[in-house]
Amino acid sequence: MQLQALQDLVHKTRDARRAQTLSKFPPSERDALIKKYHPDHRENAYRPITFGPNAGEKTVRELAALLEGDSPVSADADLTPAYSTDVLVVGGGGAGCAAALHAHAHGAKVLLATKLRLGDSNTVMAQGGIQIAITNEDSPVQHFLDTLKGGHMKNDHQLLKTMVEEGPSIAKWLLDLGVLFDRDADGNLHVKKGGGSSRPRLLTCSDYTGLEIMRVLKDEVLNQKIQLLEFSAAVELLSDGQGNCTGAILQDLDNKRYLVVAAKTVILATGGIGRLHIQGFPTSNHYGATGDALPMSYRIGAKLLQIDTFQYHPTGAVYPEQLIGALVTEGIRSEGGHLVNAKGERFVNELDTRDVVSSSIIRECEEGRGVRTTTGRLGVWLDTPLLDVESGSGTLDKHFPAMVRQYKRYGLDITKDPVLIYPTLHYQNGGVQIDVNGESGVRNLFVAGEASGGLHGRNRLMGNSLLDLMVYGKRSGSTAAERAKSMQHGKLTLEHLKRFRSEAKKHAGSLEAHSPMLFPDYVRKEG
């Protein structure tokens, strides 16, 4: 059947679908679905890590190679510091900016180094909102329970408890900084219900929540006495020979020279690994999302947690080709948008958890009920015009202006016709193991945001990533700054790297590649 005819089928079946109520899958059916169709359960995509703190544990092959990869820094590198600071923050996204601001507020001298420009991050791409329990009908306890259930009960309870309890204070902090969250007609904060949540608790800024938060954080960083190094990528950590982190080596991307930073404390906020394109999936992540914190932390001795689980956002664009991997915000499903297969049928409760919805879409496509695009890709329909039918003309334009504009650039009007979607690699569920202050198992090394692990368990609820960034950016920044007040700078050595290389040599095939990767391998090479 032609694509236009399949599109027409969505319109023809809309009234019948509106009369339907789809229940969420019972636990046994949900678990069986995920095990059969979710990419986390493709055994051939995984292998054991051969050495280091996580030796014997499985992760995706792409990440295993980076963890076992060699540093680009030579053993005899000159470690004369170019900069000296109390707190070094690596990463210029939401977590990094929050960490830098809170460290500065606690009186620390702060240097923020970012691989690209300040703000270039996954944070600016977060559309769906930030989950915070602020209404009388909600509570941090209910937020805790929803997140625990969504994470398949594998969440670190203390990390989760801390996040949900500090949510309301984060909302106040962001409002005080000037974040323009949506409000209702009476001027009260407007909250929406997200997938996997039992209560409406999403604070939004239309469909550009992350962009709005990042706008405010960037301005605040630039207005404070925070030293900023852009286009400066961290490539190796420094230690004192006793296992404590004492700084980092940056690479100035303009001239390729190394810059040594002596720091009393280091906060890594470099984001996830979407641009590794694990299992060949497209990704919603920005170009710098190559998981830089993971190999650097691993080499210095930090334990990683839950690095065998990743989130695939259910609704990544699959047509037109120019938008492959770009997110179609979950907010559209939150407001009633249907997922529809090639037969014009709904097949899943659209507000089930992301792993369930993604697995359901993959099942439809693998079992022959997907829609094939003109370029041969498979997907299912997201019935976007339904929102205007249900809530009145102009709803999409008002609530999702960025999405409407994004598609109009390519001659598609999502207010009139449905869009084709398929799961896209979106989030790294695991990462460096941290405590409630964001500190790793390596003293004076803190990790915040997507690079950390344990909080979300085996599946993240929408909207929790932005809250994670703010809470653990705050806690790592505050703790690192207070720690620095009572410390002297430690010795700068690469002893941990020497030990890592010595161990790697015992394992054939190790050290074949350099890590961190910094940029995906399809980025245009110089020369």
- State the catalytic residues: 313, 333
Contact criterion met (CB below 8 Å) for 417 and 387: no
CA distance 17 to 388: 15
Q: How many residues does the chain have?
A: 527
C-alpha dihedral, 153 to 155 to 160 to 161, nearest 10°: 50
* Angle, vertex CA 449, rays to CA 359 and CA 211, nearest 5: 85
- The amino acid occupying position 441 is G
Angstrom CA distances, 105 to 12, 205, 275, 480, 482, stand at 58, 26, 33, 12, 10
CA distance 123 to 453: 17
With a CB cutoff of 8 Å and minimum separation 6, the contacts of 26 are none
| Omega before 72 within 30 of 0, i.e. cis | no
Which of 90, 59, 84, 66 minimizes the C-alpha distance to 448? Answer: 90
CA distance 401 to 177: 24
Contact criterion met (CB below 8 Å) for 457 and 278: no
Give the H or E element holding residue 474: helix 464-485
Contact criterion met (CB below 8 Å) for 91 and 269: yes
Angstrom CA distances, 318 to 108, 277, 283, 425, 428, stand at 46, 15, 11, 13, 21
Six token digits for residue 223: 């207005």
- The amino acid occupying position 252 is D
CA distance 34 to 417: 30
With a CB cutoff of 8 Å and minimum separation 6, the contacts of 470 are 94, 95, 98, 130, 170, 173, 174
Q: What is the DSSP string of 14-43?
A: HHHHHT--PPPPPHHHHHHHHHHHSGGG-G
* Angle, vertex CA 338, rays to CA 388 and CA 403, nearest 5: 55
Contact criterion met (CB below 8 Å) for 462 and 194: yes
- H helices, E strands: number in the chain: 16, 20
